[in-house]
Structure 1
Amino acid sequence: MDQDTIWTLVGKKLNNEATPEELRQLHQLLKQPWADVYSIQILEAMWRQNPNQPPRFIPYKLQQKWDKLESKLETDDTRTDTFQDPANEADPPVKSMRQRFIPALTAAACLVLGLLSIIYWKNHAGNYNVKTYQITAARGNISKIILPDGTKVWLNAGSEIFYKTNYGNKCREIRLTGEAFFDVVKDAEHPFIVNTATMRIKVLGTAFNVRSYANDNVSETSLIRGRIELTTASNPHHRIILKPSEKLTIPNKKGSHHNKNEAFMTLSALHTTKNDSLPSEAQWLENKLVFDNEYFDEVAKKMERWYAVSISFKNAQLKEKRFSGKFEKESLNTALEALKATSSFNFFMDNGKVIIY
């Protein structure tokens, strides 16, 4: 069987036992449509992790049958391999899913190509057999990645995920800082777990969005389909079950200036409208910057990540203003002018820095 042959040839290659003919055969086999899920770097890393456990190749026809949500989420035809072998650090980093249309940054885009998503590894403290992979989406960009089990992850701007080389042995566990959308492959024997600074989310197979930026006032988990079990860092023994179209909001810092009079956690419905294919909580997947009745300083943080700029306030009272809006291809200046038209403030822009006053 071709899949078994690939696994055998990968082992021979890594042990320097493969003949030139076998190396050519491996190269040809990896060109097969059903085998393009994993790059040679991914296969080598997986073989080193467990040579007795071949990967589960995803048939080409199943790849074509992405569900309706998947087709909505695709914003480019570039697929990102993410399971890079630490021994091949010289290999090019993964590509960003696509670069947003930001006129002011177009010229700079060529200079940072290849830095949009960065993968590197580091030894896990006290254990030299287990290593940690880190994947980063730079500010101003969205990255799509595929984990070793076929789970698809979209990383929003300024986000990172971490997972270890033993991913999938007992469970599929990752750590997230920032925002990501997960379309999880169902596997009842290997639960999928997402850890953030404020919550722990456990699923079997589902689609959901998590936002947990360190400098935001709140963290959110929004369930699109399926079912998830959630616990908070402050109360790990209390389990919360989310149903489709529900969102759980948790303050990141107790007593922060917006949260003084707010409940510890809030369960609410997702924001949906008739003309939108996705709730507002996940419309960043369609390259839309959306905010619903949010404080200006929270809006500013989203705009910082979206447009890769820094924004500061000269007048702290302006942070308390609330805005609702949706931007897609608008430049930063156009977006700020639109907000300015609905409220009284001014702004100054210079070399990637914005001052609100």
Structure 2
Amino acid sequence: MGIRLSRLTYYKDDAFIMNQEEAKHRYEVLAEKWLKGTITPEEAREYADWYNTSQDAPVDIPASFAASEAAHEQRMLRQMEERIGMHTPIVPLVQKYRRLWWGAAALLVLAAGSYFWLQQQAAPATAPGNDEIALQYDVPPGTNKAVLTLSNGRQIILDSAANGTLALQGNASIVKQDDGSLTYLDTPGNNTHEVLYNTMSIPKGGQYQLTLPDGSRVWLNAASTLKYPTSFTGKERSVELTGEGYFEIAPDAHQPFLVKAGSLQVKVLGTSFNVMAYADEKSINTTLLSGAVKVLQGTQEKTLTPGQQATVDNQTGLVTINETEAEQAIAWKDGMFRFSSSNMAMVLRQVSRWYDIEVVYQGKVPQGHITGKVPRSMKLSGVLRVLELSGVHCKLEKNKLIILP
């Protein structure tokens, strides 16, 4: 009898053999051996028993196999089609809702929907077979980099600056920490009442982390800026954002925190939330992870609870509230692209910002949607491989990604 899988335990011939975590690791190892062709006959039988048995728990297949070989890819697709039969067929690329059926690195096998999710880093130089991507060279992923502009106009390139105190601004010392982040610390003895403003600018291909004078932490995504005072005085703590930022606000009931993003204002006391306010997007999105926030847009005022997202239409100014997967909004902070029926144009804008490339369309913007997640640590070639397999044909010329008809 084969291996019967349940949520809690795994049995063979009605004898307990391993718990869920042990089994998960076991089949990850066997999956890797299977893909590398090093699996023994006994292991192959064990893996085949599991492979052809329904399962509840997702299993990661590691990324260390040779993902650039088209044979592995086609073999896996055929095996998956055979496993799921025609009850859950591989979705044709011409359909409106496309799935990422193969990753450039690894995959999660989810029996319920048979999705393939990218999980780990890999950087194949070209895509396989007839869908080969024209790559003359590869583009590395973004890194931690930013430019800090002080109140006097002096600029400090943070990614090349040494750790330690970089400058004094009013009552604050600006310190670059050992992990590369920036922190504002109160400086005893300075009693200036002048309010000074600093601006952190993140270029395309960058991201950075900042701790504000009140202890609030901010993560800034590529192509973003944050303007803020070097000390918070008055009735509120106010900052100005363009682009995208994730905020963890230090509680202070007497001094609310205010994020201004264009015409939108997000007012909080102590909470964590994400604001996406790129000028080239159709809306400004505020996603709440914990606590509560008020979203102010003209005369409209909405209160969010965790798991909700406020969307402000950039054309009409209308605010709508929807339930959402909050983790998807902050996947960028955790090193992932995460898509859920995301349209191709939005996906390509994210790719453009993170890899500091220009996207040019030779025809219409590709239709369809992508669901899946891709590590932001991958080189551009890995992402382009996914796009090609999702029906987007492209070529890279220096820093210009050309989307072909």
TM-score by length of 2: 0.53
Q: Counterpart of 1:250 in structure 2: which amino acid? A: V
Q: Which residue of 1 aligns with 2:214?
A: 149
2:161 is aligned with 1:46: no
Shift of 1:218: 1.6
Q: Which residue of 2 aligns with 1:313?
A: 361
Task: Name the CA shift for 1:298/1:217 in 2 (closer, same or farther; >3 Å).
Answer: same
| Offset from partner CA, 1:22-74 (integer Å, 9 cap, x none) | xxxxxxxxxxxxxxxx95834x52179xxxxxxxxxxxxxxxxxxxxxxxxxx
Q: Counterpart of 2:218 in structure 1: which amino acid? A: V
Q: Which residue of 1 aligns with 2:294?
A: 229
Shift of 1:176: 0.3
Contact 2:206 2:222 in 1 (8 A): yes
Q: Counterpart of 1:245 in structure 2: which amino acid? A: G
Task: Name the CA shift for 1:143/1:83 in 2 (closer, same or farther; >3 Å).
Answer: farther
Q: Which residue of 1 aligns with 2:323?
A: 269
Q: Counterpart of 1:45 in structure 2: which amino acid? A: G
- Superposed, 1:253-264 pairs within 5 Å as 253-254=315-316, 264=318
2:349 is aligned with 1:349: no
| Offset from partner CA, 1:160-218 (integer Å, 9 cap, x none) | 11123563332100000011010000001111000011410100000101100111112
The residue matched to 2:170 in structure 1 has which SS?
A: helix
Shift of 1:336: 1.8
- Superposed, 1:1-357 pairs within 5 Å as 39=165, 41-42=167-168, 45-46=170-171, 77-81=179-183, 130-165=195-230, 167-232=232-297, 236-254=298-316, 264-271=318-325, 279-318=327-366, 320-328=367-375, 329-343=377-391, 345-357=392-404
Shift of 1:333: 1.9
Distance 2:306 2:395 in 1: 42
Distance 2:235 2:281 in 1: 32
Distance 2:172 2:261 in 1: 29
Distance 1:201 1:334 in 2: 36
Report the identity percentage.
26
Point out the more displaced range, 164-173 or 324-333: 164-173
Q: Which residue of 1 aligns with 2:106?
A: none
Distance 1:333 1:189 in 2: 50
How many residues of Structure 1 are paired with residues of Structure 2 in the alignment?
231
Task: Name the CA shift for 1:168/1:289 in 2 (closer, same or farther; >3 Å).
Answer: farther
Contact 1:144 1:154 in 2 (8 A): yes
Q: Counterpart of 1:246 in structure 2: which amino acid? A: Q
Distance 1:157 1:77 in 2: 19
Q: Which residue of 2 aligns with 1:120?
A: none
| Offset from partner CA, 1:281-336 (integer Å, 9 cap, x none) | 11111111122212211111111111111111111242x43222311132212212
Distance 2:370 2:218 in 1: 29
Q: Which has the higher contact order (CA 8 A, sep 6+)?
A: 2
Q: Which residue of 1 aligns with 2:43?
A: none
Q: Which residue of 1 aligns with 2:6?
A: none
Distance 2:172 2:282 in 1: 42
Q: CA RMSD in A?
A: 2.7
Task: Name the CA shift for 1:215/1:238 in 2 (closer, same or farther; >3 Å).
Answer: same
| Offset from partner CA, 1:120-139 (integer Å, 9 cap, x none) | xxxxxxxxx54431111222
Shift of 1:238: 2.3
Q: Which residue of 2 aligns with 1:126?
A: none
Task: Name the CA shift for 1:145/1:47 in 2 (closer, same or farther; >3 Å).
Answer: closer
Comparing both structures, which one devotes a greater share of its residues to helix? 1
| Offset from partner CA, 1:194-252 (integer Å, 9 cap, x none) | 001141010000010110011111211000000001111xxx22210000111112222
Distance 2:184 2:393 in 1: 43
Contact 1:41 1:84 in 2 (8 A): no
Distance 2:166 2:206 in 1: 26
The residue matched to 1:280 in structure 2 has which SS?
A: helix
Distance 1:84 1:142 in 2: 25
Higher gyration radius (CA)? 2
Q: Counterpart of 2:179 in structure 1: which amino acid? A: D
TM-score by length of 1: 0.59
Distance 1:179 1:82 in 2: 21
